[in-house]
Structure 1
Amino acid sequence: MDWFYEFPHMGDDSLRNLKKFIDEGFRGFTRAYGDSIEHLFSPLQRFLILADRFMVGTPWPIIILIILAIAWLASRNWKVVLGCFVTLLLIGYLDMWEDTMRTISMIFVSTVLSIVIGIPIGILMSRSKGFRSVVSPILDIMQTMPSFVYLIPVVMLLGIGKVPGLIAVVIYAIPPMIRLTDLGIRLVDKDVLEAADAFGSSSWQRLKNVQLPLALPTIMAGVNQCIMMALAMVVVASMIGVQGLGQPVLKAIANQYFTLGIFNGLAIVGIAIIFDRVSQAYGQRLQKHREIVHG
């Protein structure tokens, strides 16, 4: 009756040999192509370093003015701008400015990368059911996989540093960008598309002039979710050398520094609220504009 209490499984030797075979294969791939893959990501590393130097090296009043200007242009709401101003002042007053700027530079680069990769994939998904049926299960796996697991293959391929952390953040944050781009394009009113076809629009013109502008509020919701997930990954990515607010939080956990962890955690919450309110406000403005146009 042992079979009734113990689930049938592969023999210990067979399972050990299978794991050994997969691990050795991945190590062999890393030794053979690791340098080439690392060289492939060198432009990304330069972009990340430039963003980091700009955010950290620029005087804080200028950075605050830039962020407030972006917040105003996106939201046209003085309450959102005031909230951003107070949050940034508190972050600076509590001596977390440099770490916050490093985190913002990481979020900025990862969001730009997610948009550049995610929107074309979302467009392809909206145009091809076959492609969507292939990509959707991959996105399901990416969204349900524990965030720590992403670090293993990335570190084995590229080692420890900013770029491996950035790649892990992008992999974790990109699924909502792809899904909401696909959804936004598919939700465009068919009557509008028929009108575009009646005027002789090509497939590219219909996408550029009709589908993408009308899907923009939904795409902005994808950008919002992408930013939130990237921020959630910041602390995890600090385990492989990503500088920013995640490292003090990790240090606080390891050494039981209560105030260090709380303050840096609140700083992460603060910039999350800034990104969330600004991107949501911009998305709502786009939605109202679309309703006025259709009205």
Structure 2
Amino acid sequence: MEWLFKFPQLDADFLLTIKRATDGSLRSLTRLYGDTIENFFYPLQQVLIFFEDIITGSPWPLVIVVLAGVAWFAARRWSVVAAVVGTLIAIGLLGLWQDAMKTISLVFTATVFSIALGMPLGIFMNRFQRVGAVIQTVLDVMQTMPPFVYLIPVVMLLGIGRVPGFIAVVIYAVPPIIRLTDLGIRLVDKEVLEAADAYGCSRGQKLWKVQMPLAMPTIMAGVNQTIMMALGMVVIASMIGVQGLGLNVLQAIANQYFTQGIFNGFAIVGIAIIFDRTSQAYGRRLQMRQATRA
């Protein structure tokens, strides 16, 4: 009766052979094409350095004014602006300004790349349903895979540093914008599409002048989720050398510095609140605008 309590499995030597073959292939790929891969991603590294230098090298009053201006543009509410300014001042008073700016620069860059990659893929999913079903399965795997797993292949191929951390962040954060772009387009009222067809709109005109504007509130919800996931992954990516608040949290855990962990955790929460409230407020504005037009 032992077979009832011990699940049958493949031969241990066979599994070991598969694992060794897979890991050996990745190591061989790294040895043969390591320099080529690094050269391919060199422009990306320069972009990351450029944005980080701009944000960390700017005077702190200018950064606060710019972020407050973005909050006002998105929300049109002084309460949101006051929350953004107050959070940034609190982060600065705790001595975490430079680390916070590094984290913001990486989250901003990862979000821009995720949107640039995710929106076209979401449109593609909507246009080609069969291919979209395959992409949907891939997204399911990406969203259920433990985030630590993403660090393994990028470290094997690129080592440690900003570029592998950035790639891991984008892979982890891009699924929501893809899904909600597809969902937003699918939720557009069929009567509106029929009216567009009656006016003689081409597929491209119907997409960019009808579907995308009406889907934008849903897409903004995807942008919000992408930002939150990028911020969460930035902390995990500190394990492979990504600088910022996440690295401070990792050091606090390793050295059991409770206060350092609390302060940096507060800063991360503050940044999350800034991005979340601003993007949500902009999404609500878009919804109200669409409701007014309707």
TM category, shorter? over 0.9
Counterpart of 1:244 in structure 2 is 244
- Of 190-199 and 101-110, more deviation after overlay is shown by 190-199
Quote the Cα distance in structure 2 between the aligned partners of 1:4 and 1:283.
Answer: 54
Greater Cα offset, 77-86 or 32-41: 32-41
2:220 counterpart residue number:
220
State the match for 1:260 in structure 2.
260
In structure 1, the residue matched to 2:6 is 6
Q: TM-score, normalised by structure 2?
A: 0.98
Moved more, 192-201 or 230-239: 192-201
Q: Deviations over 1:146-204 (max 9, x none)?
A: 11000000000111000100000000100001000000011111111111111111111
1:232 equivalent in structure 2: 232
Q: State the distance in 1 between where 2:214 and 2:134 align.
A: 26
Equivalent residue for 1:183? Answer: 183
Distance 1:142 1:72 in 2: 34
For 1:20, the equivalent position in structure 2 comes to: 20
- Unaligned regions of 5+ residues in structure 2, if any? none
Identity of aligned residues (%): 61
> C-alpha displacement at 1:205, in angstroms?
1.0
- Which is further off, 162-171 or 126-135? 126-135
Give 4+ residue runs of structure 1 displaced > 4 Å after superposition: none
Q: How many residues align?
A: 294
Aligned-partner Cα distance in 1 for 2:36–2:202: 40
SS at match of 1:109: helix
SS at match of 2:21: helix
Deviation at 1:36, TM superposition (A): 2.1
Tell me, what secondary structure is at the counterpart of 1:210?
helix
2:199 aligned residue = 199
In the alignment, what sits opposite 1:83? 83
- Residues of 2 paired with 1:72 and 1:251: CA distance? 36
The one-letter code sitting in structure 1 at the alignment partner of 2:131 is F
**1:101 matched to which residue of 2?**
101
Q: Distance in 2 between matches of 1:41 and 1:197?
A: 44
Counterpart in the other structure of 2:290: 290
CA shift, 1:4, in A, is: 2.4
Give a deviation string over 1:62-107, Cα, whole Å, max 9, x none. Answer: 0000000000011000000000011000000110000000000000
Tell me which amino acid in the other structure corresponds to 2:245.
L
